[in-house]
Amino acid sequence: MTDNLTGESRRQGRIEVVCGSMFSGKTEELIRRLRRAEFAKQKVVIFKPAIDTRYSDKDVVSHDRHKTRCTPVNSSEEILLLAEDVDVVGIDEAQFFDNGLPDVCNLLANSGVRVIVAGLDMDFKGVPFEPMPALCAIADDVTKVHAICVRCGALAYASHRTVADEKRVMLGETAEYEPLCRECYQKAIHEPGNARG
C-alpha cells in the first residue's frame, strides 16, 4: 500500500478515499492509516453512520474483527460540528451518508484536515453508491482495494447479494453477500432463481 510520502507529521489538508467491494479491506486500510497518524501524535477522530450497527454501535470493526473506537453520527453535518481542532478525520461506511458528505470533506480538507474516507463504490446491483462517486471525484487520492472472488479466486469487483431483498440498504456479511469478479458476478445475477436473473 502506498503511504503518504510527506510523512504523517506535517499537517496537510487532503481527501483520501479507500473504496472497493465488501471484504476488500477498506476498513482494515482505514484503521491502518489512522493508527499511523496516531503514532505521529496527530489528533484523530473517526466517524461512522449510526445506522451501521452490524458488529458494534461504538466501534469501527473489520470483517476479521480489527476495531477502533468511533463516534456514530446521523448526518454529515454532525461531522463538521464534532471535528474541531483535529488533524485527521476518518470516516467509515461512507456510502450510508447523505449527499452533503463531499462538501463536508472539502470544508475540512480546505481548513487543513486530512480526511480519510472508506466506503463501498457500488451497491449489490453494480450501481455507484452515492455519495462515493462524488467523493472519488474531489479526492486528492483514491485507492481501490479488492477482495478475492469466492467462486474463482480472481480479484473481486462487486458485492453479490445472495438473499432476495431489493432494498438498497441492507446490513450484512457473509450470510448475505459474496465478493465476486466481473465474470462470476455476471453469471451469478443470471442464474435461475436469482432475484435479478
Q: Given 28, 93, 130, 166, which residue is catalytic?
A: 93
**H-run or E-run covering 186:** helix 182-189
Closest CA to 80 of 107, 99, 115, 46: 107
The binding track of 18-37 with respect to ligand ADP, each residue x by CB under 6 A or -, is --x-xxxxxxx---------
Other residues' Cβ atoms within 10 Å of the Cβ of residue 22? 21
When CB distances are held under 5 to 8 angstroms depending on the partner's kind, the choice from Zn ion, ligand ADP, ligand LXEULUCI, none that residue 154 binds is Zn ion
Cell numbers found for residue 42: 496527530
Closest CA to 36 of 13, 6, 73: 6
Closest CB 80 distance from ligand LXEULUCI, rounded Å: 24
Polymer length of the chain: 197
Tell me if 1 is assigned to a ligand binding site: no
Active-site residue flag, 93: yes
Longest pairwise C-alpha distance within the chain: 55
Tell me if 90 is assigned to a ligand binding site: no
Nearest residue (CB) to ligand LXEULUCI, 28 versus 77: 28
The Cα 100–Cα 98 span in angstroms is 5
Closest CB 107 distance from ligand LXEULUCI, rounded Å: 25
Do 101 and 3 contact (CB within 8 A), yes or no? no
When CB distances are held under 5 to 8 angstroms depending on the partner's kind, the choice from ligand ADP, Zn ion, ligand LXEULUCI, none that residue 163 binds is none
Given 54, 58, 69, 190, the residue binding ligand LXEULUCI (CB under 6 A): 54
Q: Report, as residue numbers or ranges, the catalytic residues.
A: 93
